[in-house]
């Protein structure tokens, strides 16, 4: 999610806005509003078999941006995301330069898209082999959401593990209440000695 979020940011999350999850159940309290396209959302990932086989948590709690809501038609061409036929160059992910080493890569984790990609549509048909920067069109089903990271070439997101069930949503991060240089600090105990004071209170958009 860089640059929206940085490694070492601690987030204040509004868990009530989308309906607070009732622990140990599949139920949630009534929501104030539904997640909207463009929201930054905290959610539980769909099951990731590759993470499970590697001995890691297969359903981690993640933070990504919601780019597709039920009924939206999504596709990507040459690194540009299209939502209902409208290019999303402006805004989130707009300044991420194309990485030619990754752009045309075809990860086996993309193969789930072959089952849902539209063979024909007013936007054209889905490629036979989805790649990092060229996939879809596909339609977001009812009760599902499509998430992507703002740092498109450093994000394992819905392109890899698919649609997120609405009930997996846990909240909306509002602001950074603490931050320290967690990724490249050369100081001892950086969570005390390398605090990003300018990040504290930063509102997340």
Q: Is the dihedral of CA 195, 196, 201, 202 positive or negative?
A: negative
Is the pLDDT at 26 greater than 90? The verdict is no
61-67 mean pLDDT = 97
**Average pLDDT value over all residues in the chain:** 93
E strand or H helix that includes residue 75: strand 73-77
DSSP summary character for residue 108 = G
The tens digit of pLDDT for each residue in 149-164 reads 988 888 999 999 999 9
- Model confidence at 27, in pLDDT bands (50, 70, 90)? confident
Q: CA–CA separation, 31 vs 78, rounded Å?
A: 37
Q: What is the pLDDT of residue 94?
A: 57
Cα separation, 165 vs 167, whole angstroms: 5
């Amino acid at each position: 999610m860089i640059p929206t979020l940085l490694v070492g940011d601690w987030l204040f999350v509004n868990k009530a806005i989308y309906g607070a999850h009732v622990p140990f159940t599949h139920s949630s309290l009534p929501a104030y509003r539904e997640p909207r396209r463009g929201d930054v959302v905290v959610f539980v990932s769909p099951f990731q078999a590759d993470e499970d086989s590697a001995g890691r948590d297969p359903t981690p709690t993640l933070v990504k941006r919601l780019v597709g809501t039920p009924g939206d038609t999504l596709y990507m061409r040459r690194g540009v995301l299209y939502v209902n036929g409208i290019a999303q160059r402006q805004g989130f992910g707009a300044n991420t330069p194309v990485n030619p080493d990754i752009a045309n890569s075809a990860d086996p984790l993309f193969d789930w898209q072959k089952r849902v990609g539209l063979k024909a549509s007013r936007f054209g048909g889905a490629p036979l082999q989805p790649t990092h920067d060229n996939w879809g069109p596909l339609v977001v089903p009812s009760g599902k959401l499509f998430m992507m990271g703002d740092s498109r070439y450093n994000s394992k997101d819905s392109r890899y593990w698919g649609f997120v069930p609405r009930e997996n949503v846990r909240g909306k991060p509002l602001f950074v209440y603490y931050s320290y240089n967690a990724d490249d600090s050369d100081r001892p105990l950086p969570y005390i000695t390398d605090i990003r004071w300018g990040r504290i209170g930063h509102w997340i958009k």
